[in-house]
C-alpha cells in the first residue's frame, strides 16, 4: 500500500513539474495575446457603418482571421476576415431590391402560379436552352452534352473512389466553426438543362456572386430564380440602383465572376479542365479538386486563372492538390489569395521559378533560391503557431520572405526578423 502511495505521489510531482515547466516556457516566450481587437483598427469607416448595416467594434480572432459581426435589418452575419467583410457588406443592397421585388403584385401573382403549376418546370427545362440557342437541333445537342457530362463525372467518381485508397488529407488551417450566416456548400450547383441561367441572371442584376455562401441571400436568390423559371415573371424587372461591389480588386476575381454570370457551371468546369490541361495538369488531381464544393465555379475559376497567369513555372500541379484539401470557404479563399499574392510577386517583384505546397502554407522560389511564403492574413501577432512556422526546417532559401496582406504587430516583425525572415506587407492584399 505504501509503495502504491509513493508511486501516486511521484506521478503527481512529475505532472506538477511538467505543468510548471510549460507555464515557465510560455512566460519566457512572452507570446502576444490577440484578445479582442477593434474593428476600426482593421477596416475603413465606410465598411463599418452604412445605410444597411453596422459592424460591432469588438472583433475576436478565430483561427488566423478576425471575426467581424455585421448587423442589419436583413439579418446578422459574422464575416471572417477583411475580404469577407467587404463581400457581405457589398451583398446588403441586394436584399433591399429583393424585398421590393417580392412585394410587387406581379411577383406575388407569378409566385402563386408557380406553386399551382410545378409541372411546368419540366417543360421549361427543355424549352429554355432551345430559345437561347435559336436552333432546336443545337439546343438538343447542348442538353445531351451536359447530361452526358454529368453521367461521365458520376462514373469517374465511382472509379476514383474504388481506385484511390489514400488516407484523408488534413485540413489546411486549424478547424473552426463556420461563421454565423454561412451556408453549407451545395453538392449540386444547378442542373445540366439550363435552370441555373435564371439564378445567374438575377445575381448579375443584383451584382452578387450566384454561388454566394451567404445563406439568407442564397435562399432568396433561389426563390426569385425559381419563380422566374416556372412563370413569366421577367428577370429584367425594373430594379433600383444597386451599389457595385467593392471587392473584385484582383483581375482574376473579376473575370471569374463575369464567367460565373455568363456560363453554366458544367461548362465552366469543362473550360477550366481545358485550361489546366494546357498547364500539364490533368487526371485524378483535377477531378478531386473539381469535387470540392467549397470551390464554387467562381472560386475555382479565380484559382485556375491565377495559376495560368504565372506562366510555365514548376509546381502548379501541386497547387491543385493543395486546393483539394480545403475544408471550408475560408480555406478555399486562403488558397486563392495565397496563389494570387505569389502571382503578383512574380509579376511585380521577381519572377518565380516554382511554387509548392508546404503543409499549411504555399511557397514560391526564385531562380536564385529565394523562398517566398504567402500569408494572406489580416492580423499577424507573435503567437505560438507563428513561432513554430518561423522555425520550420523545411522552409529554406538564400533569403526567406513572408508576404503578409494585413497588419503585422511590431513584436511579430521583430521576432520573425530575428529568426531570419524578411516580412513584406507592401503588396496589395489579394482580395
Extents of the domains making up the chain: 1-30
User: What is the Cα–Cα distance from 375 to 315, expressed in whole angstroms?
Assistant: 18
Q: Percent of the chain beyond pLDDT 90? A: 59
> Which pLDDT value is given to residue 99?
92
pLDDT band per the 50, 70, 90 thresholds, residue 168: low
> Which pLDDT value is given to residue 427?
67
> Which pLDDT value is given to residue 18?
40
Q: Specify burial of residue 287 (Cβ count, 10 A radius: 0-12, 13-18, 19+).
A: middle
165/5: higher pLDDT: 165
> Which pLDDT value is given to residue 399?
97
Residue (of 70, 65, 123) closest to 405 by Cα position: 65
User: What is the Cα–Cα distance from 371 to 362, expressed in whole angstroms?
Assistant: 11
> Which pLDDT value is given to residue 429?
42
195/134: higher pLDDT: 195
Residue (of 153, 152, 133) closest to 143 by Cα position: 133
> Which pLDDT value is given to residue 159?
55
Inter-residue contact 326 to 292 (CB < 8 Å): yes
- Helix, strand or coil, per DSSP, at residue 400: strand
Query: Average model confidence (pLDDT) for the chain?
Result: 80
> Which pLDDT value is given to residue 174?
75
The answer to whether residue 10 scores a pLDDT higher than 80 is: no
Rounded mean pLDDT, 307-328: 97
Rounded mean pLDDT, 54-72: 92
Please count the other Cβ atoms lying within 10 Å of the Cβ belonging to residue 190. Answer: 20
C-alpha cell at 42: 482593421
Rounded mean pLDDT, 2-18: 44
Expressed in angstroms, the distance from the first to the final Cα of the chain is: 67
Which helix (H) or strand (E) covers residue 229, if one does?
helix 215-230
- 179-193, 221-235, 261-275: which has the highest mean pLDDT? 261-275
Q: Work out whether the CA dihedral 189, 191, 194, 195 comes out positive or negative.
A: negative
Which helix (H) or strand (E) covers residue 247, if one does?
none
Rounded mean pLDDT, 15-21: 41
The answer to whether residue 430 scores a pLDDT higher than 50 is: no
CA 350 to chain centroid, in Å, comes to 27
- Helix, strand or coil, per DSSP, at residue 35: coil
User: What is the Cα–Cα distance from 217 to 242, expressed in whole angstroms?
Assistant: 15
Rounded mean pLDDT, 57-73: 91
Length of the chain: 431
357/107: higher pLDDT: 357
Q: Specify burial of residue 360 (Cβ count, 10 A radius: 0-12, 13-18, 19+).
A: middle
> Which pLDDT value is given to residue 416?
98
> Which pLDDT value is given to residue 282?
97
Kindly report, residue by residue over 380-408, the tens digit of the pLDDT: 999 999 999 999 999 999 999 999 999 99
The answer to whether residue 22 scores a pLDDT higher than 50 is: no
Per the DSSP assignment, residues forming a β-bridge with 407 are: 379
Rounded mean pLDDT, 221-250: 64
Rounded mean pLDDT, 75-101: 95
Inter-residue contact 88 to 79 (CB < 8 Å): yes
Rounded mean pLDDT, 259-273: 94
Inter-residue contact 425 to 416 (CB < 8 Å): no
Residue (of 300, 293, 212, 294) closest to 253 by Cα position: 300
- The radius of gyration of the chain's CA atoms, rounded to the nearest angstrom, is 25
> Which pLDDT value is given to residue 187?
66
> Which pLDDT value is given to residue 94?
95
Rounded mean pLDDT, 137-157: 48
The answer to whether residue 25 scores a pLDDT higher than 50 is: no
Task: Give the pairing type, strands 65-72 and 58-62.
Answer: antiparallel
Amino acid at each position: 500500500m505504501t509503495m502504491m502511495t509513493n508511486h501516486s505521489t511521484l506521478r503527481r510531482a512529475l505532472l506538477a513539474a511538467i505543468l510548471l515547466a510549460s507555464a515557465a516556457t510560455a512566460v519566457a516566450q512572452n507570446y502576444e495575446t490577440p484578445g479582442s481587437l477593434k474593428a476600426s483598427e482593421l477596416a475603413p469607416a465606410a465598411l463599418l457603418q452604412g445605410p444597411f448595416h453596422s459592424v460591432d467594434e469588438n472583433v475576436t480572432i478565430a483561427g488566423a482571421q478576425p471575426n467581424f459581426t455585421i448587423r442589419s435589418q436583413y439579418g446578422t452575419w459574422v464575416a471572417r476576415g477583411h475580404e469577407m467583410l467587404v463581400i457581405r457588406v457589398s451583398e446588403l443592397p441586394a436584399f433591399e431590391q429583393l424585398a421590393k421585388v417580392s412585394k410587387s403584385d406581379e411577383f406575388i401573382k407569378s409566385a402563386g402560379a408557380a406553386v399551382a403549376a410545378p409541372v411546368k418546370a419540366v417543360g421549361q427545362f427543355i424549352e429554355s436552352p432551345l430559345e437561347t440557342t435559336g436552333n432546336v437541333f443545337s439546343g438538343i445537342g447542348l442538353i445531351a452534352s451536359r447530361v452526358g457530362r454529368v453521367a461521365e463525372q458520376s462514373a469517374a467518381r465511382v472509379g476514383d473512389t474504388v481506385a484511390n485508397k489514400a488516407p484523408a488529407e488534413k485540413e489546411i488551417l486549424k478547424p473552426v466553426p463556420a461563421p454565423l450566416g454561412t451556408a453549407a456548400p451545395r453538392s449540386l450547383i444547378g442542373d445540366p438543362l439550363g435552370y441555373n441561367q435564371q439564378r445567374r441572371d438575377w445575381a448579375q442584376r443584383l451584382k452578387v456572386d450566384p454561388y454566394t455562401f451567404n445563406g439568407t441571400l442564397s435562399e432568396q436568390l433561389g426563390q426569385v430564380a425559381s419563380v422566374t423559371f416556372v412563370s413569366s415573371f421577367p428577370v429584367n424587372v425594373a430594379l433600383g440602383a444597386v451599389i457595385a461591389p467593392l471587392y473584385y480588386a484582383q483581375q482574376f476575381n473579376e473575370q471569374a465572376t463575369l464567367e460565373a454570370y455568363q456560363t453554366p457551371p458544367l461548362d465552366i468546369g469543362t473550360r477550366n479542365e481545358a485550361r489546366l490541361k494546357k498547364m500539364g495538369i490533368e487526371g485524378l488531381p483535377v477531378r478531386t479538386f473539381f469535387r470540392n464544393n467549397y470551390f464554387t465555379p467562381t472560386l475555382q475559376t479565380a484559382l485556375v486563372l491565377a495559376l495560368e497567369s504565372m506562366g510555365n513555372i514548376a509546381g502548379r500541379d501541386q497547387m491543385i492538390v493543395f486546393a483539394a484539401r480545403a475544408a471550408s470557404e475560408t480555406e478555399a479563399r486562403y488558397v486563392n489569395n495565397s496563389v494570387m499574392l505569389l502571382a503578383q510577386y512574380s509579376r511585380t517583384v521577381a519572377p518565380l521559378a516554382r511554387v509548392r505546397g508546404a503543409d499549411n502554407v504555399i511557397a514560391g522560389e526564385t531562380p536564385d533560391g529565394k523562398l517566398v511564403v504567402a500569408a494572406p492574413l489580416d492580423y499577424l501577432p507573435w503567437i505560438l503557431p507563428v513561432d513554430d512556422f518561423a522555425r520550420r526546417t523545411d522552409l529554406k532559401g538564400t533569403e526567406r520572405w513572408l508576404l503578409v496582406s494585413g497588419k503585422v504587430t511590431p513584436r511579430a516583425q521583430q521576432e520573425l526578423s530575428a529568426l531570419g525572415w524578411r516580412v513584406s506587407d507592401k503588396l496589395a492584399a489579394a482580395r
